[in-house]
Amino acid sequence: MPRTPLNSDEKIIETGEILEKKLGREITATDIHKALEGKGNYARIRRVWEDHLATKGEEQPQDTPLPDDTQEQISNAVTALEASVETIVRGQIARMTEQSVRQFALRERDFAMLESAHAKKVQALEEEIAYLTDCLDRIEAEKVLTYVDAPDVVPAQPAASKPAPAAAALAESRKRPNRPLKKTHPTARKTALSLPSAPKKSPSPTSKPT
């Protein structure tokens, strides 16, 4: 006749469930064996507890219907939560849009200021170019007028004076050192001194023959 076990299956399962509620975690056969003060066959306790866990996992929990007022409260809470989340999202979108528009306006203002500054610089450069072009035109016009007003007659250069005969002879002797130097005398100036003409003899009166 088989011996009656020290701990029944119901006692083992009950002890395990009590430990689960107390400790709030999964219970092992060791925990149950300790709770039973180490009494009983450990292998049997583990087999009974594991079979209980397998059977418990296979059982499908039945849906318990909620009361109508509870279901309505849950629906109202979900609707309010959805509305609150939608409001938060809309507000965030509006703030982000406003910030983007403000940044765009600031960038557009900065661009306009930069464009105005560049336009002023370009205008100043154009005015400077126009002024320099005007100055260049005036200088060219003055050059043309100066050229037109200048006399066309070139002043005659003084004729080279002929060398004196002595200087010419000296230069010639230097060119030809072997030739004797010609003696040169200054040309005598012809004097136009007229000698007094002899008095003409007056014809003597012919004597008539007597």
Residue 14 in tokens? 């009950």
pLDDT, the chain, mean: 76
Q: Is the pLDDT of residue 155 over 50?
A: yes
Q: Is the pLDDT of residue 168 over 80?
A: no
- 93 has a pLDDT exceeding 90: yes
Classify residue 45: in a domain, yes or no.
yes
% of the chain exceeding 70 in pLDDT: 65
pLDDT attached to residue 209: 45
Tell me what pLDDT residue 71 has. Answer: 84
Distance from C-alpha of 33 to C-alpha of 46, rounded to nearest angstrom: 9
Tell me, yes or no, whether 46 lies in a domain.
yes
* 188/17: higher pLDDT: 17
Q: Is residue 54 part of a domain?
A: yes
Does residue 166 have a pLDDT over 60?
Answer: no
- The token pair at 44 is 């049997």
Angle at 99 (CA atoms; ends 97, 101), nearest 5 degrees: 70
- Please name the amino acid found at residue 19: L
Q: What pLDDT digit, counting tens, does each position of 101-137 carry? A: 999 999 999 999 999 999 999 999 999 999 999 999 8
What is the per-residue pLDDT across 21-66, written as a single tens digit (0 to 9) for each?
888 888 888 888 888 888 888 888 898 988 888 887 665 555 667 7
Q: What is the structure's pLDDT at 123?
A: 93
3-state secondary structure of 125: helix
Say if residues 26 and 20 touch (Cβ distance below 8 Å).
yes
168 within domain boundaries: no
Q: Which band of pLDDT confidence, cut at 50, 70 and 90, is reported for residue 81?
A: very high
Residue 51 belongs to a domain: yes
Q: Is residue 99 part of a domain?
A: no
Answer whether residue 44 is part of any domain: yes
49: containing domain: 9-58
Contact 27, 20 (CB under 8 A): yes
Query: Helix 42-58 crosses helix 9-23 at what angle (to 10 degrees)?
Result: 70
The domain total for the chain is 1
| Radius of gyration of the chain from its Cα atoms, rounded to whole angstroms | 74
Q: Decide if 27 is inside a domain.
A: yes
